[in-house]
Structure 1
């Protein structure tokens, strides 16, 4: 972890992008995992990322922990998951924007504005892909696929967040992968909706 103390601009952008995109999946887990890692000393931050220390505050950890626990169970029930995602269409982008804002250099207002907008946009993009895919899965009458997908999201969020903090040089690649995945999921859901609701195509021969 010594290398995290000497982050370059690409590493910072990568971490901000990855954290924001992951917040679009699991905002509370991202905040909770980051806060616990910093409180335990697992993630020693360079000086210009000291604003993230607020995530290690006991009150922030408590609220994030409660939210993560509620989301863990809500995410396993199809109708409740869809309702939860609808409400968090507004919450996750704001959380992602604030995370990005806390990560970039506070001495550069222009960078802060760009980080806030891109962080919110990244979280909204990831949320859109995740919510769309889960809405399609939630139509299945059996609960196994929903629970399996939800558990995979939990594990992937924690695992990728650890990877980004442990290997900052790879964070930009993770962010690019997450953005591409979100776009791919949204396109797949769009094709599915067209197939289901588009209706049969008229045969030109029928006049």
Structure 2
């Protein structure tokens, strides 16, 4: 079960930022004892992979903070983030971490199952993120873009780290993020729309009188 928690946290992080969990996985395997990647995923900690993933991470962080450009980036990332989620889930779930001493035969001979789960999780998180961002930009004239993006980057980093070190905590954070996205955010937008409608109605009455 811990393997699933590890993979889910990493895949969710990929839904927010495609490259963050891959870089965290690679660095953790390369420089720390936090995780030991199996042979099939060891390439994530190679020099070339770390430099390429790091460069792509910087590009995404910058692009995601510019209004309009962030929406274009989200469109491009519709393919990349789920793919990254599949890789992150597969690598994390089959790795030996601080909390997973023996991943054993988890999804043995069915790696596509693990990758498929990661793709689905990352895609779901990405769809929510990509649908909220244009609305937030329109409501704030683009001011929200860097603020929301920074919060997403921090969340992606936190999910990635907790998934490796404290996977249960990472899974709880994931559930909290889902509840917030599904329940709290829509409720906030409905209240905002009602307040705007009331203001417009009052303005119309004032004009007519």
Q: Is TM (by shorter chain) over 0.5?
A: yes
Query: 5+ residue gaps in structure 1?
Result: 1-9, 197-207
Contact 2:19–2:84, Cα closer than 8 Å, also in 1: no
| TM-score between the two structures when normalised by the length of structure 1 | 0.75
Contact 1:25–1:126, Cα closer than 8 Å, also in 2: yes
Question: What is the aligned partner in structure 2 of residue 87 from structure 1?
Answer: 76
Query: 5+ residue gaps in structure 2?
Result: 95-103, 197-209
Matched, 1:23 2:14: yes
Question: What is the aligned partner in structure 2 of residue 109 from structure 1?
Answer: 109
Total equivalences in the alignment: 183
Q: CA RMSD in A?
A: 2.8
Q: How far apart in 2 are the matches of 1:121 and 1:185?
A: 22
Shift of the 114–191 alpha-carbon distance from structure 1 to 2, 3 Å rule, reads farther
Question: What is the aligned partner in structure 1 of residue 206 from structure 2?
Answer: none
CA offset digits 1:92-122 (Å, max 9, x no partner): 1111112222233485124x23212211110
SS of aligned partner of 1:152: helix
26-35 vs 141-150, which moves further: 141-150
Matched, 1:13 2:41: no
CA offset digits 1:144-196 (Å, max 9, x no partner): 3211111111112112222222213434333433444454478569969x999
Q: How far apart in 2 are the matches of 1:91 and 1:189?
A: 30
Shift of 1:74: 0.5
Matched, 1:78 2:67: yes
Q: How far apart in 2 are the matches of 1:155 and 1:182?
A: 16
Contact 1:18–1:178, Cα closer than 8 Å, also in 2: no
| TM-score between the two structures when normalised by the length of structure 2 | 0.75
